[in-house]
Amino acid sequence: MPTTLSIIGFGSMGSAILRGAVEAGVLEAESVLVIEPDDGRREQARRLGCVVSAEARFAWDSPHVLLAVKPQVFASVAEQMGPAPAASDGVIVTSIMAGLSSAAIRQVLGGNTRIIRAMPNTPCRVKAGMTALAIGEGARSGDEHFPVMLFASMGRVVKVEEHLLHAVTAVSGSGPAYVFLLAESMEQAGIQAGLDHHTARTLAYQTILGAGRMLTADGDGSHAPVSADALRTQVTSPGGTTAAALEVFFEAEFPQIVAEAILAARDRAVELGR
């Protein structure tokens, strides 16, 4: 059976993408070629029903290639892949490598490659991810359709201009870590307030989960979700406990701290892409 997609790299994100697409019916496992040097990970893909190989040169046998490797190993992977088939209409290559521009990727791969860049985040592993897609060098209108289906099986997808992917990385790519820090801080504060560890953790984690669902809820689908500002106002009674807590946050310039952190992440993404 001819393969539809070659996945290069079967780590946490590569495997999450495959599982999500197969479970959603976007792909059949036997139509996917997984290229992975690690014997254990390759065996995992085999058990899922995929075609497997340790040799990256076979990636070009599929019309779509997903680069799910670390950017620092891309040069080595590209060397193993060999030149893209110049005589074909062009293979659509989707990269989830942070920092590497589509122009740089296409320059290395050569041929008629059509590059799409994607920036997913780790909640994709639990089908609650956020992915931004950008049409890159050599790509044509419509080339993003297949990648959109892949990532939509694991959460939400938005399309942006490629130059904005640095900002995307700072907001949603790194964003889960900010939420984890908030959860950690709420848990520890709960313990300081007298709660046992298990209760403090349960209260903090479930509160963040519930608040997240409120932020993305759209009722019967006839209107947009309520803004974070509006939800915060609804839950804050003048002179109440929430107001007392928020006063501390604002005195510490919490919104400005968040902005500075996100801009620092954006700037670092720009540096890594040079």
Instruction: State the pLDDT confidence band at 88, using cuts at 50, 70 and 90.
Output: low
User: Phi then psi for 155, rounded to 5 degrees?
Assistant: 150, -145
Is pLDDT at 224 greater than 70 in this prediction? Answer: no
Residue 244 reports pLDDT greater than 90: yes
**pLDDT surpassing 70 at residue 66:** yes
Angle between helices 241-251 and 254-272 (to 10 degrees): 50
43, containing H or E segment: helix 39-47
Residue boundaries of the structural domains of the chain: 5-165, 175-272
Contact status, residue 47 vs residue 81, Cβ threshold 8 Å: no
Checking if the pLDDT of 219 tops 70, the result is no
Cβ burial of 15 (10 Å; 0-12, 13-18, 19+) is buried
Contact 6, 66 (CB under 8 A): yes
Average pLDDT over residues 235-250: 97
Asked, colleague to colleague, whether 5-165 and 175-272 share their fold, the answer is: no
Q: What is the pLDDT of residue 87?
A: 60
pLDDT of residue 248: 98
Write down the pLDDT at residue 249. 97
Secondary structure of residue 144 in the 3-state scheme: coil
User: Which is nearest to 263 in space by CA: 160, 120, 181, 167?
Assistant: 167
Specify the CATH class of 175-272 in words.
mainly alpha
Q: What is the DSSP letter of 138?
A: T
Give the integer Cα–Cα distance in Å for 1 and 30. Answer: 7
122/14 Cα distance (integer angstroms): 11
Q: What pLDDT score does 95 carry? A: 97
- Residue 63 pLDDT exceeds 60: yes
pLDDT of residue 99: 85
Q: Class assignment of domain 5-165? A: alpha beta
Residue 220 has pLDDT above 50, yes or no: no
Q: Give the pLDDT score at 3.
A: 86
Backbone angles phi, psi at 91, to 5 degrees: -85, 135
pLDDT band at residue 225, thresholds of 50, 70 and 90? confident
The answer on pLDDT for 111 being more than 90 is no
Indicate the pTM of the whole model: 0.89
3-45: per-residue pLDDT in tens?
Answer: 899 999 999 899 999 999 999 899 999 999 999 999 999 999 9
The pLDDT of 145-152, averaged and rounded, is: 95
**pLDDT over threshold 60, residue 221:** no
